[in-house]
């Protein structure tokens, strides 16, 4: 398999680290190489797959000029376009996980001619901070324990890497429905300076830019690309209700619900997740994908009942 790595330089001079696999005729771009590469690298049949780290993330440049970070998620949209343009792909498929699942929709809104198909995995909700009914949130004792430990006073003199390792040990358990599956998460952010300091970038730049969005159903109707939303029903970090809402609001979207899975459903049910992705990127809706007609799955059967 052909492979290479290097940097794509954006218009404002930020270097984005990339890893390129395969040389197939279809192009697939996956942001956040640091934690997506090992799990998604097999998606190369008939494809050229580009993984890249967003600005100030992973192995991309550490950005010291605050003006190159203040637009938050909007920088990420432009950086995805910079990667597509660099490799001279006419149209691309894109996969986005977590808040990047929101970002790839923004990309499809701004650059519709460049997008073929979109996959969201555990995407952040369309409206940041929206409260969903408890059964659509994944809230449980594991989340309560995490929040309790997070609220404990920090040792300000502790080595940042060591603090990161302790936080990551807690977060890994939160990302899976079954705590025993936490050991299946093999990536770690704590050896990468950008990731050790990510929370500052998140709170100062990315989150405010997301909170400033106002995505209405009328606006999202402009997304013409097919969108496959894959969401763990027990996701504690990006509520399952948000995944349902994306599939409800987007005009050409379907939802794959991964039961007994949380924020990284490909770890807990790889057959469902990767089987669905392969079918979808191949041009068809996977069997598990459903059209969503109601935010609450408990009332959906009534909504489908013509009587």
Stretch 18-37: mean pLDDT: 96
Q: What is the mean pLDDT of the chain?
A: 94
Residue 263: exposed, middle, or buried by beta-carbon count in 10 A (0-12, 13-18, 19+)? buried
pLDDT at 302 over 70: no
With tokens 């007609």, the residue in question is 293
pLDDT tens per residue, range 211-228: 999 999 999 999 999 999
Note the pLDDT of residue 210.
98
Q: How far is CA 67 from CA 14, 50, 83, 120, 241, in A?
A: 12, 27, 21, 29, 34
Report CA dihedral (230, 125, 235, 34) to the nearest 10 degrees. 70
Nearest to 23 by CA among 48, 52, 51, 50: 48
Residue 167 has pLDDT above 60, yes or no: yes
Q: pLDDT tens digits for 234-257?
A: 999 999 999 999 999 999 999 999
> Mean per-residue pLDDT for 253-282?
97
Domains and CATH numbers, the chain: 3-304 (3.40.50.1820)
Show the tokens assigned to 251.
Answer: 């005009």
pLDDT on residue 301: 55
Helix H, strand E, coil C: the string for 85-115 is: HHCCCCCEEEEEECHHHHHHHHHHHHCHHHE
Distances (CA, A) of 87 to 64, 150, 211, 274: 27, 42, 32, 25
Range among 51-55, 151-155, 169-173, 197-201 rated most confident: 51-55
pLDDT exceeds cutoff 70 at 307: no
Give the pLDDT confidence score for residue 281 in this predicted structure.
98
Q: What angle do CA 128, 234, 55 make, to 5 degrees?
A: 45
Q: What does the block give as tokens for 282?
A: 């191949």
Q: What percent of the chain has pLDDT over 90?
A: 85
Of 67-81, 160-174, 246-260, give the lowest mean pLDDT range. Answer: 160-174
pLDDT confidence of residue 222:
95
| pLDDT value at residue 154 | 77
Higher pLDDT, 162 or 14: 14
- What pLDDT, on the 0 to 100 scale, is given for residue 304? 44
Which pLDDT score, from 0 to 100, does residue 149 have? 86
pLDDT given at position 157? 82
The band of 97, judged by pLDDT with boundaries at 50, 70 and 90, is very high
pLDDT of residue 299: 82
- What percent of the residues of the chain are helix, what percent strand, and what percent coil, each to the nearest 5? 40, 15, 40
Looking at residue 298, its pLDDT comes to 84
């Amino acid at each position: 398999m052909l492979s290479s790595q290097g940097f794509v330089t954006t218009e404002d001079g930020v270097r984005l680290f990339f890893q390129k696999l395969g040389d197939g005729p279809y192009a697939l771009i996956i942001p956040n190489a640091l934690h997506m590469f090992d799990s998604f690298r097999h998606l190369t049949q008939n494809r050229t797959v580009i993984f890249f780290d967003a600005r100030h993330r992973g192995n991309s440049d550490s950005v010291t000029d605050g003006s190159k970070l203040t637009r938050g998620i909007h920088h990420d949209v432009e950086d995805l376009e910079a990667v597509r343009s660099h490799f001279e792909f006419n149209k691309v498929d894109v996969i986005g996980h977590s808040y990047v699942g929101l970002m790839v929709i923004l990309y499809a809104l701004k650059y519709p001619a460049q997008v073929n198909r979109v996959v969201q995995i555990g995407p952040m909700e369309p409206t940041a901070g929206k409260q969903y009914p408890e059964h659509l949130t994944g809230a449980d004792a594991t989340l309560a324990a995490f929040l309790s430990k997070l609220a404990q006073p920090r040792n300000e003199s502790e080595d940042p890497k060591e603090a990161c390792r302790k936080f990551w040990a807690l977060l890994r358990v939160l990302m899976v429905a079954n705590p025993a599956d936490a050991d299946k998460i093999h990536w770690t952010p704590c050896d990468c300076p950008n990731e050790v300091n990510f929370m500052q970038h998140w709170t100062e730049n990315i989150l405010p830019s997301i909170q400033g969005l106002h995505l209405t159903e009328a606006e999202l109707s402009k997304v013409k690309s097919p969108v496959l939303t894959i969401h763990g029903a027990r996701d504690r970090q990006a509520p399952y209700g948000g995944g349902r809402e994306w599939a409800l609001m987007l005009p050409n979207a379907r939802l794959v619900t991964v039961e007994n899975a949380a924020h990284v459903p490909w770890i807990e049910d790889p057959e469902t997740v990767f089987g669905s992705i392969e079918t979808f990127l191949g041009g068809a809706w996977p069997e598990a994908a459903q059209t969503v007609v109601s935010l609450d799955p408990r009332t959906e059967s009534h909504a489908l009942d013509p009587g």
